[in-house]
């Protein structure tokens, strides 16, 4: 089966020949370009590295960008693309994004050979990462992760695009905000909608880190013990907890207290609970 029916197959062949488009299994091992599996959901299609100049705290730094998507999701997008092309409706290709969570890894330096690099596995947050919302600490956490990696000249940020609202999606997240404004905390609001407290899946993040780094020591910038547990379950046996507290302000203090009650390692007594709102 072709990997991309909506891109000229000759381009796919060129990318495969260059080693820029590969498939990896759940252990991070490279597979044959057209490999199939009894567990196709465990196969990732990986595109990269792509040089990506970025502004990190006012300085231009170039990271290596890898985009990755599950084979099952790409196959479904492939099927829809074929159907749309057959009906002459290529202008509707935007619906393909509904069937693919294209995630990313941004790498600085030699991740495989580094002694003990910093790593951040970050769940996408449109309101925090893009809009600059102060209802959560996501934006400051992402920015601080890049700053810390830049300071050490090596590390990686894994950006999980399908994790909005701890996995419930942007629309449901917006509704939970309304419920929170009526008095519920972030977890109670999820439960009111009949949704899990946290439905995120970090297995693909673990696969990519195994592919790029191997099962070697890494310092994971996270205050969430569940994230550590999930990544270990994915085969990363040598990750170390690295506290990553930042972005605390009056607007998100109740939210952070709820996270602490749920198990996040947040000692709010040791930090100023109200800052000036500026991101690090």
pLDDT digits (tens, 9 = 90+) for 139-176: 999 999 999 999 999 999 999 998 999 999 999 999 99
Q: What is the mean pLDDT of the chain?
A: 86
In a domain, 179, yes or no: no
In a domain, 123, yes or no: yes
Q: Cα separation of 158 and 59, whole Å?
A: 21
H-assigned helices in the chain: 9-17, 71-86, 138-152, 164-167, 170-181, 186-192, 203-212, 225-233, 253-262
In a domain, 175, yes or no: no
Is residue 84's pLDDT more than 70? no
CATH number, domain containing residue 255:
3.40.50.10990
Confidence band for 208, pLDDT divided at 50, 70 and 90: very high
Per the residue annotation, which of 144, 166, 185, 198 is the catalytic one?
198
Cα three-residue angle 100-105-107, rounded to 5 degrees:
165
Half-sphere exposure (CA, 13 Å, Cβ side) for 2?
Answer: 16
In a domain, 71, yes or no: yes
Q: What is the pLDDT of residue 12?
A: 81
Active site residue 200: yes
In a domain, 50, yes or no: yes
Q: Cα separation of 52 and 146, whole Å?
A: 13
Give, in order, the Cα–Cα distances in Å from 106 to each of 26, 52, 119: 19, 8, 10
- The DSSP secondary-structure symbol of 204 reads H
The parent domain of residue 132 ranges over 9-163+200-270
In a domain, 3, yes or no: no
Number of H helices, E strands in the chain: 9, 9
Q: Which two tokens stand for residue 207?
A: 């696969």
Is residue 280's pLDDT more than 70? no
In a domain, 65, yes or no: yes
In a domain, 169, yes or no: no
Could you tell me which residues are beta bridge partners of residue 21?
47
Per the residue annotation, which of 23, 200, 213, 219 is the catalytic one?
200
Counted domains in the chain: 1
């Amino acid at each position: 089966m072709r990997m991309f029916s909506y891109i000229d197959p000759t381009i796919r062949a060129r990318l495969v020949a260059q080693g820029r488009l590969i498939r990896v299994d759940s252990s991070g091992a490279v597979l044959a370009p057209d490999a199939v599996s009894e567990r196709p959901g465990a196969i990732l299609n990986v595109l990269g590295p792509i040089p990506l100049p970025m502004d990190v705290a006012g300085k231009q730094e170039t990271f290596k960008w890898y985009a990755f998507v599950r084979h099952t999701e790409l196959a479904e997008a492939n099927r829809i693309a074929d159907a749309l092309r057959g009906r002459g409706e290529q202008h509707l290709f935007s619906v393909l994004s509904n069937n693919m969570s294209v995630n990313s890894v941004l790498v600085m330096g030699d991740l495989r050979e580094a002694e003990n690099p910093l790593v951040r596995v970050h769940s996408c947050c449109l309101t925090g990462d893009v809009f600059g919302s102060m209802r959560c600490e996501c934006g400051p956490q992402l920015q601080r992760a890049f700053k810390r990696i830049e300071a050490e000249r090596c590390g990686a940020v894994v950006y999980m695009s399908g994790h909005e609202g701890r996995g419930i999606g942007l629309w449901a997240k917006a509704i939970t905000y309304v419920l929170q404004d009526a008095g519920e905390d972030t977890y109670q609001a999820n439960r009111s909608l009949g949704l899990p407290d946290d439905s995120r899946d970090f297995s693909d993040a673990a696969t990519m880190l195994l592919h790029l780094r191997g099962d070697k020591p890494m310092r994971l910038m996270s205050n969430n013990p569940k994230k550590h547990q999930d990544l270990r379950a994915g085969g990363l046996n040598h990750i170390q907890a690295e506290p990553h507290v930042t972005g605390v302000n009056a607007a998100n203090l109740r939210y952070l207290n709820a996270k602490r009650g749920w198990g996040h390692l947040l000692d709010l007594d040791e930090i100023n609970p109200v800052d000036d709102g500026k991101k690090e």
